[in-house]
Every structure is written in C-alpha cells, then in structure tokens.
Amino acid sequence: MPAAYGFAIEPAWRLEVVRYALTPPGWPAELKLRIAVLADLHVGEPFMGLSRIGRIVDTANDLRADLAVVLGDYHASHRFITRVVLPEEASMALRRLRAPMGQYAILGNHDYWSGAQLWRRAMRDAGLRLLENRAVRLGEGETAFWLGGVASMLAIRLGGGRFHGLHNLPGMLHQVKGDAPLILLAHEPDIFPTVPARVALTLCGHTHGGQVRLAGYSPVVPSKFGNRYAYGHVVEDGRHMIVTGGLGVSMMPVRLGVPPEVVLVELG
Ligand SMILES: [Fe+2]
C-alpha cells in the first residue's frame, strides 16, 4: 500500500499550499509582497495532464498573490508518460495564471534539453515573461523592487555527468540599478553559494525535495550539496533561499513525504 501510494496517489492527486512569511535582510519591512510560486510541472499524462495543470493554476490564482512566478522544468523526461502534453497545450493551460503585478518564468534544465525555443514560445504565449539572465523593475517609488532570473546551471549536457550552465548571475545583477530590493529566480539551488547579499531572497525548484523525503531527510537529491538545499527555507550568512518541492515528477514517477505544492511567499 505505501508503494502504491507513493507511485500513484501522492504524485497525481495531492496538492498542498505551503506558506512562508519572512522579511529577510535587504527587504523593507513596510514593503508587502505576496508571491505565488510554481515549479517543476513536468507536463504529461498520467501525472500532469491538462486538467491537473488547470487545478494547479486555479489554486495559485485563488491565493490572490501580487506576483506569480514559475521556476522551470515544464518538460517531462521520464519514461512513464502515457500521453505527451505539447508545449503549446501546456501554454494554453498556463494562460489563465494571473497576478496583478504580472507572471514571470525561467526555464529548467529539462526545458533546455528538450528544445528551449519551444518552451520560450510556450511561456511567451501563456503571458509569462521570461527572465533568462534578465532583471525587471516592478512597482513604483517606495514600493519598487527588482525581479531577476537566471538560466539553468545544467542547460547543456556535455556527457559523462558534466554540464555547461547558461546562467549569468553577474550579467543579471549588472542590469539592477539603484538600491531597490531584489528577488532572484533560479532553477537550481546550487547557485546559492554564489548569490551576493544584494539579493534579498532567492527562489528555486529543481530538487523536488528529493521526491522521497522522510523525517526531513531526502536520500537522493539532484544537487552537489546533498540535503543542504533539498527543500524549504535555507538561511546562510544572513542570505535567504526558498526551495520548493515543486509539482511534478522526473526520473521515477514517485513522490513520498514531499507532496506536490504551490508556494505562497509573503514578504514584509
Ligand atoms: Fe530541474
């Protein structure tokens, strides 16, 4: 029964809303911002069909956040797909994701591996603005802040377990002018040791919390730092990162102890 649960019920049916309320250093206490965060959809039936994506979008919209962000890995690479969901279909399903300050996205490693151009177009058509090594200034006056994103650190596979990243954190930071606070969207949390204190909060996905997580420990984490960045709110040297366990599955269609989640971040 636990195996059947892990393989079928948790990946396909459960959906949690996980809330984080924080005011990290560099974020003004009086600046209230609510961000809905989606990650790692890995679209494709039976685990992430169009109706499931629709339910996730409804859940995110119901949070009435100021801003919606999607942190990459739309493509599913695992072998258990019973029907492929095409980028244009995923785009149609994501088109209803709406927030007053806009919808922003980055791509994940699986998207670069499966045709980044298709996923770039899908995001654009869905009304999501891509932040690939780019930063945008949002809000006005006292309430202004920057939202920056970087490309995947695993974007190009070199073979033998080696990768070439397309992330350009210095290039993104160079676009940030003035002293308004900055939020970073990065698919892989392994970027965190190189993120400067200028970034008030880093939002990441990619790990799926290990997909199996028991008593706060994930046996398998796609990170060179193991459990350090597997899941949740990480604080190091006064710098803050939130790693969402995401929504879909990759490699193996199993989730146990880390149910699919939509994250709501409340700043200020
Ligand atoms: Fe990923």
Q: How far is the CA of 206 from the centre of ligand 1 (A)?
A: 4
Residue ranges in the chain assigned as alpha helix (H): 2-4, 10-12, 50-62, 87-94, 109-125, 169-174
Express as a percent the part of the chain with pLDDT over 70: 96
* Residue 267 pLDDT class (50, 70, 90 cuts): very high
| The dihedral sign for the CA sequence 198, 170, 147, 61 | negative
Can you name the CATH fold of 2-267?
Answer: Purple Acid Phosphatase; chain A, domain 2 (3.60.21)
Is the pLDDT score of 5 beyond 70? no
216 CA → ligand 1 middle, Å = 20
Distance 157 CA to ligand 1 centre (A): 13
* Ligand 1 centroid, distance to 101 Cα (angstroms): 26
Q: What is the C-alpha to C-alpha distance for residues 241 and 151, in angstroms, rounded to an integer?
A: 17
- What's the gap in Å between 208 CA and the centre of ligand 1? 8
Summarize pLDDT for 149-190 with one digit per residue, the tens.
999 999 999 999 899 999 999 999 999 999 999 999 999 999
Where is average pLDDT lowest: 52-56, 142-146, 214-218? 214-218
CA of 148 to the centre of ligand 1 (A): 18
Ligand 1 mean position, distance from CA 26 (Å): 28
Whole-structure pTM value: 0.95
